[in-house]
Amino acid sequence: MTSENLAAPEAPAMRPRRRRRRGIWPLVRDILVIVVVAVLVSFVIKTFFVRSFYIPSGSMEQTLLIKDRILVDEFTPHFSGYERGDVIVFRDPGGWLPVSATPPRPPLVEAWDWVLSLVGISAPDSEDHLIKRIIGVGGDHVVCCNALGQVTVNGTPIDETRYLDLAPGQSAPVVKPYDVTVPEGSFWVLGDNRDHSQDSRYNTDQPSHGFVPEQNVVGRAFLITWPFSRFGGIDFHHDVFAGVPKE
């Protein structure tokens, strides 16, 4: 045998393996799964934890301005409860908001708005809700006003000048007298723009007698998210009520 015959046979040339292309449908399926999961997570967060609203009126100026977008904490108040000074969003207890007929919108617009509301981008029911500051909680005796035009809670005057929107030179809002004791499980609420707020004072002739039942409260507003120039927390000014005794 010659040396050529004893040589090992030549290995066949290795062919590059072709990568199998994924079809378009697996990609579409993955995207759909991600979208569905994201919508479900957003829906759960919105339903049980945080909701988005926008401010439809000027009743809380200058704390909140018209068209401000805010986040509302629905979760922690279930454990900590609500305090004097909290800024709350609540459903109309009956007769607080004027009856208005909303013009019908195309089904596609309604569907798109509904999807956006699920993930907290749209807040189509903002105008069906109100936002005010809690002045009195269950059992409180709230009176307007003393000789200085101050509201008293359980006999203690509160200095609201830190958050009230008063005209230049004005030391107190226009006096609208009232003397109420807040029922348990309800709140007496007023707007920071006191002279331009249809709040508890103006709804004593309605079914709730001006009080907001706790079951109507959606949650506590805690953050301004838009416009970005106003991004930041909402001050509850709890210290204003620090000296108020329990009734």
Domain 22-241 maps to which CATH number in 2.10.109.10, 3.30.310.10, 3.40.190.10, 3.90.1300.10? 2.10.109.10
pTM for the full predicted model: 0.79
Q: Is 176 a catalytic residue?
A: no
70-112 pLDDT, tens digit each = 999 999 998 999 999 999 999 999 999 987 656 666 766 565 5
Collapsing DSSP to helix, strand or coil, 180 comes out as: strand
Q: Average pLDDT of 114-120?
A: 56
Tell me the Cα Rg of the chain. Answer: 30
Give CA–CA dist 227/246, Å, rounded.
Answer: 39
60-71 pLDDT, tens digit each = 999 999 999 999
Q: Out of 126, 132, 186, 197, which one is annotated catalytic?
A: 132
- Both tokens of 59, joined, read 């009743």
- Both tokens of 40, joined, read 């479900």
| Peptide bond preceding 206 in cis form (omega within 30 of 0) | no
Q: Is 132 a catalytic residue?
A: yes
Of 56, 48, 92, nearest in space to 72 by CA: 48
Q: Out of 59, 117, 186, 200, which one is annotated catalytic?
A: 59
- Both tokens of 69, joined, read 């977008």
pLDDT of residue 123: 59
